[in-house]
Chains A and B, each alone.
Chain A
Amino acid sequence: MDHDHQEAPSDPALRVMALESLLVEKGLVDPAALDALIDTYEHKIGPRNGARVVARAWVDPEYKKRLLADATSAIAELGYEGGQGAHMVVVENTLQCHNLVVCTLCSCYPWPVLGLPPVWYKSAPYRSRAVIDPRGVLREFGLEISEEVEIRVWDSTSEMRYLVLPERPAGTEQMTEDELTTLVTRDAMIGMAKVTLTGGAR
């Protein structure tokens, strides 16, 4: 049979399967390593890590000081470090200032504390608009920021990775660190949401 003019399969699932089998045949890739990597980012590394950092900063003023001064080391204290988190900066939301993180050029995101980014973060609408219309983007997420409050947008153009330290909500004074952790959402650590007493789906 002549396969010379056979069209390459256009379905990405088939193309990826073909590529994986070629790389395995050449001995370049161990399929078990692929399984382990997928399992790690599906089940072990995600926004719960970042939520622990935030909750610790809320209950421990000395930790918060270290976190704002040298985020990479302070986050490593809790055991979170790794690829796409080599150099961390934590920016703090206050009554006067709201922070928002984007990567306009690609999809830079702090993996060790937030896991892999959601589709919207990597999408053309977010990448194009976060820098020119942060208030409009926040409004679409249900967040109206007063004109009195300064918005700081952090464009991740280098290997520095940014994490937002959201405001601790009122009414949580009696909560334990573990309880606080359950309130902190991924979107709040990107700067697209506030932390509320009911937590949030994202």
Chain B
Amino acid sequence: MNGVHDMGGMHGMGPVTPEANEPVFHEPWEGRVFALNRTTGALGKWNIDASRHARERIPPTDYLRMSYYEKWLAGLLMLLEERGVVSRAELESGRARPEAAKARPSLTADQVPAVVADRGRFDRPVNQPPRFAVGQAVRTKKINPTGHTRLPRYARGAVGIVDRIHGAHVFPDSNAHFRGEHPQHLYSVRFAARELWGAEAAPRDSVYVDLWESYLDAV
């Protein structure tokens, strides 16, 4: 979707301001939101692409106003309700439905080290060989899907060169909507900065974007 989350190339956002001695979490609640996302993720009711897409669906004015972990909270609340883990009434009252059966936690403290160390791979075996080769010129499609996509607006309709082939990976555009993993070959494509941004860009600079095969056409 052409949301405000797709920020590459936007102007007016101000300077980048690093913070000295920055803590991992600025407030205890930020750590709780982070950890609640990890533990409820282990329920298996959604996937990482769906959680990204939930945060993308935060209304743009809220998205820009919210802090990072406020966005995580908003996205988590969306998923919990949409995936039927908690009801709107429960969220509003803060109490479980009295008749609801008590669940078992998806993640216990003793399981945390193993879960943190788990890579959780995204590559999948596929039968088809990659359609494009390293060094080949490709053009990204001009698409404007209303759902989730990982083809940023700034890289649409642009010509680049395949730099690496990462293997076949889960396709976020379908996985985010629970329509299956449909793995596709994933490429690192190098775009000259001038191809993306015009003649004022530095002549030697480039941007590398990881792109799934169906985003690309041969040139």
Which A residues form the contact surface with B (CB < 8 A)?
3, 8, 12-13, 15-23, 25-30, 32-38, 40-42, 45-46, 72, 81-83, 85-87, 89, 102, 104-107, 115-116, 118-120, 122-132, 134-135, 137, 140-141, 147-160, 187, 201-202
B57 at the interface (CB under 8 A from A): no
B127 at the interface (CB under 8 A from A): no
Within B1-39, the residues touching A (CB, 8 Å) are: 5-11, 13-29, 31-36, 38-39
* Proximity bits, B132-171, A CB within 8 Å = 1, else 0: 0000000000000000001110110000000010100110
Complex contact B20–A129 (CB within 8 A) = no
- Alpha-carbon distance between A77 and B139 when the two chains are bound, in angstroms: 37
* In the complex, chain A residues whose CB is within 8 Å of the CB of B154: 104, 131-132
- Alpha-carbon distance between A123 and B7 when the two chains are bound, in angstroms: 10
- Alpha-carbon distance between A89 and B28 when the two chains are bound, in angstroms: 32
* In the complex, chain A residues whose CB is within 8 Å of the CB of B16: 120, 123, 125-126, 129, 137, 140-141
- A120-B18, A128-B8 given; A38·B35 CB < 8 A: yes
* In the complex, chain B residues whose CB is within 8 Å of the CB of A33: 35, 39, 105, 107-109, 111-112
B64 at the interface (CB under 8 A from A): yes
Complex contact A81–B119 (CB within 8 A) = yes
- Since A16-B73, A19-B76, A33-B108 are in contact, a sample of 20 more A-B pairs with Cβ atoms closer than 8 Å, ordered by chain A residue number, is A16-B33, A18-B94, A22-B91, A28-B105, A30-B107, A38-B32, A81-B117, A82-B119, A83-B118, A104-B6, A104-B152, A124-B10, A128-B8, A131-B154, A140-B15, A154-B208, A155-B155, A156-B210, A158-B186, A160-B186
- Alpha-carbon distance between A57 and B55 when the two chains are bound, in angstroms: 37
* Minimum Cβ distance to chain A for residue B154 (Å): 6
Complex contact B36–A125 (CB within 8 A) = no
* In the complex, chain B residues whose CB is within 8 Å of the CB of A13: 27-29
Complex contact B24–A42 (CB within 8 A) = yes
* Minimum Cβ distance to chain B for residue A104 (Å): 3
Q: Find the A residue at minimum CB distance from B112.
A: A36
- Alpha-carbon distance between A15 and B70 when the two chains are bound, in angstroms: 10
- A13-B28, A36-B109 given; A105·B204 CB < 8 A: no
- Alpha-carbon distance between A148 and B105 when the two chains are bound, in angstroms: 56
* In the complex, chain B residues whose CB is within 8 Å of the CB of A156: 210
* In the complex, chain B residues whose CB is within 8 Å of the CB of A127: 7-8, 13
A–B pairs, 13, beta carbons within 8 Å: A20-B36, A26-B100, A29-B105, A29-B106, A38-B25, A41-B34, A83-B38, A124-B14, A131-B207, A132-B201, A152-B205, A159-B170, A201-B20
Complex contact B86–A22 (CB within 8 A) = yes
- Alpha-carbon distance between A82 and B112 when the two chains are bound, in angstroms: 11
* In the complex, chain B residues whose CB is within 8 Å of the CB of A19: 36, 73, 76-77, 91
Q: Find the B residue at minimum CB distance from A35.
A: B109
* In the complex, chain B residues whose CB is within 8 Å of the CB of A157: 150-152, 209-211
- A21-B94, A29-B39 given; A12·B152 CB < 8 A: no
- A45-B116, A132-B9, A160-B210 given; A141·B96 CB < 8 A: no
* In the complex, chain A residues whose CB is within 8 Å of the CB of B164: 89
* In the complex, chain B residues whose CB is within 8 Å of the CB of A83: 38, 115-116, 118-120
- Alpha-carbon distance between A17 and B206 when the two chains are bound, in angstroms: 45
Complex contact B188–A160 (CB within 8 A) = yes
- Alpha-carbon distance between A12 and B7 when the two chains are bound, in angstroms: 25
* Minimum Cβ distance to chain A for residue B21 (Å): 7
